[in-house]
Amino acid sequence: MPEPTTPNSPAHTAVPTIVVVGHGMVGQRFLEALAGRGLTPAAGGARVVVLCEEPRPAYDRVQLTSYFTGRSPEDLSLVEPGFMERHGFELRVGDPAQSVDRAGRTVTARSGAVFPYDTLVLATGSYPFVPPVPGKDARGCFVYRTIEDLLAIEEYAKGAATGAVVGGGLLGLEAAGALKGLGLRTHVVEFAPRLMPVQVDEGGGAALLRTIEEMGLTVHTGVGTQEVLADADGAVSGMALSDGSSLATDLVVFSAGVRPRDQLARDCGLAVGERGGIVVDEQCRTSDPAVLAIGECALAADGRVYGLVAPGYEMAEAAAEALVGGRSAFTGADLSTKLKLLGVDVASFGDAHGAADGSLDVVYSDARSGVYKKLVIAPDGTLLGGVLVGDADQYGTLRPMTGAVLPVAPEQLVLPAGAGGPVALGPSALPDEAVICSCHNVTKGAVCEHTTLPEVKKCTKAGTGCGGCLKVIGQLLPPPEDAGLCGCFPYSRSELYEIVRTLRVTSFDELLDSHGRQEARGGDGCEVCKPTVGSVIASLAPAVGASGYVLDGEQAALQDTNDHFLANLQRNGSYSIVPRIPGGEITPEKLIVIGEVARDFGLYTKITGGQRIDLFGARVDQLPLIWTRLVDAGFESGHAYGKSLRTVKSCVGQTWCRYGVQDSVKMAIDLELRYRGLRSPHKLKSAVSGCTRECAEARGKDFGIIATAQGWNLYVGGNGGATPRHADLLAQDLSDAELVRLIDRFLMFYIRTADRLERTSAWLERIDGGLEHVRDVVVHDSLGICEELERLMAGHVAGYRDEWAETINDPERLRRFVTFVNAPEAPDPSVRFVPERDQIKPDLELLAGPVLAVRTLEGTAS
């Protein structure tokens, strides 16, 4: 990093210097805007220095609460790896600006470093407002603004039982959800007569209140905080409220709004508004033309301080454009919002409160289901705004129509099905100038210039902000030309699953002849559809009346090479044997059997990361002999060869570990035995950790379980493979029965809807609605299919049979385990080994020759 110049150095050299104070979401967007216009050190356009107060680069503050549902600070980062280095930006984290000398055009950082500037950009954001009540500084009082705030709350909550949030707005309810997620009894105290008073009206607030109280939170509206009470040690012990009541609590989070951080501007003499905010014009220039201000610290030309990220992004673009001589202007922004609070959809847009003269309200309210919808309509039928609580699916279409006459009667847009609505008023009805993505100000016309979602995101950034526009974008894009599984079927895997399940199809030929493409009927299928359909039929075997044994009849011809021999084919043509060791628990007697088998057959032995023992180097004709001994000793197939459950790892849990809070070993064994042999679109891995120290690495698994003092937390969609992904929290503090029930539902819903060879991590990111949709389906039963999902899993559990135990007792099935059909006794001469570290390894020199061909009963596979 170049050294800063001294105060007596020239203000600039060959290129101008831009100093950015603040590196939040808006500050990062400004850097991206500079990069897009070539105004970077790497492009020779300017030197850019960024002074960041926090100890980390910019992160997604909108998604801050997702930290408590499993996302790490790194997951929240908005800075792509290598972004700063690629463009030559000088980022100084943990070194905020302390003072500005406008006459000398320098900024002094907390470290003492002094930076000259040609242009200064203030992106200092806002700070949480803490009411000036007695006791506000007691130990146990927090604000809810940064990752460091969340870390402090999380730590303090370990010794607390009850928490209270002062403020019932957006951030207040997010904070309340976080406290509840940490296991605290939670109260919300809001001075206004309803929750979220800025965004929703009285009816919407009432619907939101009912739903949130049903979740176990206690809400106090129409009262203020008079005092925070503390014990003799100075720790929070309660709150005194304005109605004379008191509230016992161990922790207080203040979330009563924010104020613009304009002190740096005040100290250097820049003009600020009467109620705060740095005064800027439409190009975001302050009273000093060399200084710009963007984001929540700025008082825009229309007299507003905008507290949403979308207006901040627009300011960042306007400021960057001004620096290259452009004429872009920030004249105001849409204040519409759509969010999910504690699992409840809440949206407001336009004139949500009906302030316009003569406006009319069209309202639908269902207190029982917590749904409230209101449209504000002008006398001529123009849509002015609206509020949606509990069901905001139509937000993406209605918001862009604000200011236009609706093409249908408004009541048809709020009534439920069967009562005069809803009308299929889709995004296609929107004009091209309608803004689809308010975070990045992207219109329908701009979206429709592209054909795929990745292309839209890359070229317009639409869908990369809050994500509320993704559903509408998907409806605007053309469908894939052919969504079929392959050239044999015009249906996707999930559609074939439904066909097999509904029509009780038990064979591939039957499915191909009835639902295959016309030109494929009567044929043999292909290498894509045969194993896919084989997996679908196997996963539904008990429900449709098919054989559960994958090598019975026609099923054998559908399997991959590994499934043909119930073993993993290795690089030299030998096979591996992987007996199941549930939860990693094994007796000395069984260890001895594995050792004797490995010794007697000369196998390579390896303890794997999945808490099993793999045996490598068996010839195909040796597999039945080896498995006979293993089955006799009580082992069964570990299904390392199948697209099915592999392992459920575990730590030693509370039985042995002094940190453990639940019996993780028993739970891991129970889960592995329950889901063994479950055929799925891709392999499945799991783990159970007995405490939050996470020794079993549960968050890197397709479904992972972490013990808490109250029960179990269930995480889903993790992946430790080529594209690592942390699993997301699906539900928390579950009993044993609740945990098993949700895993049953999750796995069967995944098997039902995932694409061929799609891991749960990719499926969770692809499926419409993502984690929230999956949670709605498997936790809240939004589709009404949970009973069926549980029934399908129960059928699998009841119908499970060990494949190797059945194979070694059936002479007909044993016929396939030969290398050559015409010489069944002859071993494969190409399977050779050399010694290494007292064991064997494949002969690599032999492998360097021609491609190995393995002859099977089905033919030759290379």
SS3 285: strand
| Domain that residue 403 falls in | 334-425
Q: What is the Cβ-side half-sphere exposure of residue 766, based on CA atoms within 13 angstroms?
A: 10
Amino acid 422: pLDDT: 47
Amino acid 1: pLDDT: 37
**CATH number of the domain that residue 183 is part of:** 3.50.50.60
From first CA to last CA, the distance across the chain in angstroms is 54
Contacts of 367 (CB under 8 A, 6+ apart): 206, 207, 210
Burial 95-129 (b: 16+ CB within 10 A, else e): bbbeebebeebbbbbeeebbbbbbbbbbbbbbbbe
Residue pair 731/742 in contact by the 8 Å Cβ criterion: yes
Amino acid 520: pLDDT: 84
Amino acid 341: pLDDT: 66
Asked, for residue 461, whether it belongs to a domain, the answer is: yes
Amino acid 444: pLDDT: 83
SS3 122: strand
Nearest to 641 by CA among 581, 580, 582: 580
Domain check: are 449 and 469 in the same one? yes
Domain check: are 228 and 170 in the same one? yes
Contacts of 417 (CB under 8 A, 6+ apart): none
Amino acid 854: pLDDT: 36
Domain check: are 588 and 524 in the same one? no
Nearest to 633 by CA among 683, 596, 677: 596
Query: Rounded CA gap, 472 and 395, in Å?
Result: 9
Domain check: are 118 and 267 in the same one? yes
Query: Rounded CA gap, 497 and 480, in Å?
Result: 20
Query: Rounded CA gap, 775 and 430, in Å?
Result: 31
Domain check: are 812 and 839 in the same one? yes
Query: Rounded CA gap, 362 and 421, in Å?
Result: 13
DSSP assignment letter at 416: P
Domain check: are 463 and 593 in the same one? no
Amino acid 566: pLDDT: 84
Nearest to 205 by CA among 352, 303, 323: 352
Amino acid identity of 550?
V
Does the N-terminal peptide bond of residue 479 adopt cis geometry, omega within 30 degrees of 0? no
Six token digits for residue 135: 């006791």
**Domain end marker among 323, 343, 361:** 323
Residue pair 748/789 in contact by the 8 Å Cβ criterion: yes
Asked, for residue 546, whether it belongs to a domain, the answer is: yes
Element spanning 486, H or E: none
Q: How many domains does the chain have?
A: 7
Domain check: are 72 and 177 in the same one? no
Residue pair 246/230 in contact by the 8 Å Cβ criterion: no
Residue 107's Cα: distance from chain center in Å? 39
Query: Rounded CA gap, 29 and 79, in Å?
Result: 10
SS3 413: helix
Other CB atoms within 10 Å distance of the CB of residue 524: 11
Query: Rounded CA gap, 268 and 271, in Å?
Result: 9
Domain check: are 651 and 789 in the same one? yes
Pick out the chain residues at pLDDT < 50.
1-13, 418, 421-422, 847-862
**Domain end marker among 203, 236, 256:** 256
Asked, for residue 587, whether it belongs to a domain, the answer is: yes
**CATH number of the domain that residue 826 is part of:** 3.90.480
Domain check: are 671 and 770 in the same one? yes
Residue pair 677/646 in contact by the 8 Å Cβ criterion: no
- Residue 684's alpha-carbon distances to 67, 538, 675, in angstroms, are 25, 15, 10
Amino acid identity of 651?
C
SS3 670: helix
Query: Rounded CA gap, 701 and 281, in Å?
Result: 51
Amino acid 502: pLDDT: 87
Alpha-helical regions (H) of 408-528: 444-447, 453-460, 470-476, 493-503, 508-515
**CATH number of the domain that residue 445 is part of:** 1.10.10.1100
Asked, for residue 136, whether it belongs to a domain, the answer is: no
- β-sheet bridge partners, residue 646: none
Given the DSSP bridges, would you call strands 568-569 and 383-389 parallel, antiparallel or unpaired?
A: unpaired
Amino acid 464: pLDDT: 72
Asked, for residue 5, whether it belongs to a domain, the answer is: no
**CATH number of the domain that residue 761 is part of:** 3.30.413.10
Domain check: are 303 and 446 in the same one? no
Residue 589's Cα: distance from chain center in Å? 44
pTM: predicted TM-score of the whole model, two decimal places: 0.58
Asked, for residue 149, whether it belongs to a domain, the answer is: yes
Asked, for residue 10, whether it belongs to a domain, the answer is: no
Domain check: are 606 and 731 in the same one? no
Asked, for residue 768, whether it belongs to a domain, the answer is: yes
Domain check: are 74 and 105 in the same one? yes
**Domain end marker among 301, 323, 345:** 323
Residue pair 571/628 in contact by the 8 Å Cβ criterion: no
